Structure 1
Amino acid sequence: MCGRYASSRKPEDLVELFEVEKWDPTETVEPDWNVAPTKSVWAVLDRPVKDAGPRPVRQLHTLRWGLVPSWSTSADTGVKMINARAETVHEKPAYRRAFASRRCLLPADGYYEWFTPETAPDGPRGSSRKQPFFITPADGSVMAMAGLYEWWRDRSRPGDDPAAWLCTCTVLTTDAEDALGRIHPRMPLLVEPAGYDAWLDPGRSDADELRALLVPPLAGKLAAYPVSTAVNNVRNNGPQLTEPIPAEEALGDATLF
């Protein structure tokens, strides 16, 4: 799964990296090294723009992490819908409409995953003592997580109230590659630059064609290392959270790589 990640690049950098055509500079998110569910996050998406014809335009927007289906009676459901399994996303009622036409990319520096060492001081694997790892592109490039987004209407507010509409997103997950699977069996599905256009194209709606785009990253593309347990507390933030700690300081000497 993916329950916490880091996203510290400036929007100006994301505009360049993802060849964004439209971005409102007044819409912004501060760099965040401890992104948690319900926080606002950057998302890249392709949608037509009013008075610009039917051609989809590459855009950068802020969305709330935790997808709320359009038919949901409460925005609170998003807390439990931060991830969608790539294997079944095309058939699940909460995701299938978004999968057909509302796909996005969620830029990240990397994501966190928690591993329970076999030698955890207070018990065997499965105990409460967990060592966080930061997983990031080995070459330092931006991580583009495959996502979906959806609009939700708050019926308690009048239609002309900007707060009446909430746009939310979820991260698609897949089986982790062998090495990363030692930390956790699931991982975010990543999209390579060559696949950005196809994944974001709202005109693509065939489930089989879209599922063919969902391929795990090549082995060795990602690096993983233990980081401080300070990341466990969502109130902690800053680049120090992504810095590696010495193996001897990790819980249970969690040296996997």
Structure 2
Amino acid sequence: MCGRFVLIESLRAMQNLFGYRIPAGFDERILDMGNRYNIAPTQPIAVVDAGLDGVRHVRLVRWGLIPAWTKDAKTQSLLFNARSETAADKPSFRTAMRHRRCLVPASGFYEWRRMGSTKMPYYIRPRDGSTMAFAGITETWLGSEGSEIDTGAILTTSANRLMTMLHDRMPVILAPGDWDEWLDCGNRRPRDVSHLMRPAADDLLEAIPVSERANSVANDDEALIAPLAEPLTIDAEKAEVKQTPDPDDEPPAQGSLF
């Protein structure tokens, strides 16, 4: 799963990497907003999508998808993750999977495992320090009184060998060479991109033990991702996990949607 993540690049800095256009009227202050070290559901996240012309655009959505058919958004469960294996068939995600796939830029994400009575956070990031793109979907919810909320969810898949130390799920991480294919909703149906929704390569990531301050969404600073010990990695030659996992656990409780 993916219940918290980090983005330490501004939207302006990522423009060359993702090749998106800035929409007319986009608040210039948002382009250079500060680094975010503890992004949680209900907060705004940046997503990159493509129109029928194939041109990429960036925009902000609320993390936690609200299906378009929902009558009362306040009673809707917080759908911040969608299982990639079933998203194309689930009523909550089916239309978004067909028509509104997106990329969610991220520098890394958190996962937890239980250490006695404590939940120990790990910061998972690419070993080369690059910015990732999670596979995402978006939906616009229209209220009966005319309100409009752009929302989104991150797709998850089964864990790779590194992540099985912490959890049995992980976000779908798309390689740059697959971005165009994923975003091409006009020509590619969900079944045509199902092969992209796979676990990341075993040696792509490292898992760094970090401060328990990451457990609280109130904390959002660089110290959250400072290593407390050597990262967990996969031994590339022996293809063996270097440490034995504790039982899977859920992240600390999130806030409500409103």
Residues 1:41 and 2:45 are matched in the alignment: yes
Superposed, which structure 2 residues align to 1:118-137 within 5 Å? 120=116, 122=117, 129-137=118-126
Matched to 1:26, the amino acid is: D
Moved over 3 A (4+): 22-25, 76-79
Residues 1:199 and 2:182 are matched in the alignment: yes
Q: Partner of 2:12: helix, strand, or coil?
A: helix
Matched to 2:112, the amino acid is: W
CA separation of 1:85 and 1:31: change in aligned 2, threshold 3 A = same
Query: By how many angstroms is 1:77 displaced?
Result: 5.4
Superposed, which structure 2 residues align to 1:1-257 within 5 Å? 1-24=1-24, 25-26=26-27, 28=30, 30-48=34-52, 55-76=53-74, 80-117=78-115, 120=116, 122=117, 129-157=118-146, 164-246=147-229
Q: Partner of 1:12: helix, strand, or coil?
A: coil
Q: Deviations over 1:38-77 (max 9, x none)?
A: 10011111014xxxxxx13200111110000000112235
Q: Deviations over 1:65-103 (max 9, x none)?
A: 000000011223565200000110110000011001100
Distance 1:17 1:66 in 2: 25
CA separation of 1:205 and 1:93: change in aligned 2, threshold 3 A = farther
Q: Partner of 1:80: helix, strand, or coil?
A: coil
Matched to 1:173, the amino acid is: T
Aligned residue-pair number: 230
Q: Partner of 2:164: helix, strand, or coil?
A: helix
Q: Is the 8 A contact 1:101 1:204 kept in 2?
A: no
Q: Partner of 2:87: helix, strand, or coil?
A: coil
Q: Deviations over 1:14-44 (max 9, x none)?
A: 2111011334541625421110001001111
Q: Partner of 2:57: helix, strand, or coil?
A: strand
Q: Deviations over 1:196-253 (max 9, x none)?
A: 0010112134232121221221111001110000011101011111111136xxxxxx
Distance 1:77 1:56 in 2: 36
- TM (normalized to structure 2)? 0.84
Q: CA RMSD in A?
A: 1.9
Distance 1:77 1:189 in 2: 28
Distance 2:108 2:151 in 1: 20
Q: Deviations over 1:119-169 (max 9, x none)?
A: x2x4xxxxxx21000000111000110000001001123xxxxxx211100
CA separation of 1:246 and 1:210: change in aligned 2, threshold 3 A = closer
Q: Partner of 2:85: helix, strand, or coil?
A: coil
Q: Partner of 2:228: helix, strand, or coil?
A: coil
Q: Which moved more, 1:75-84 or 1:217-226?
A: 75-84
Distance 2:49 2:75 in 1: 23
Q: Is the 8 A contact 2:113 2:119 kept in 1?
A: yes
Query: By how many angstroms is 1:256 displaced?
Result: 5.6
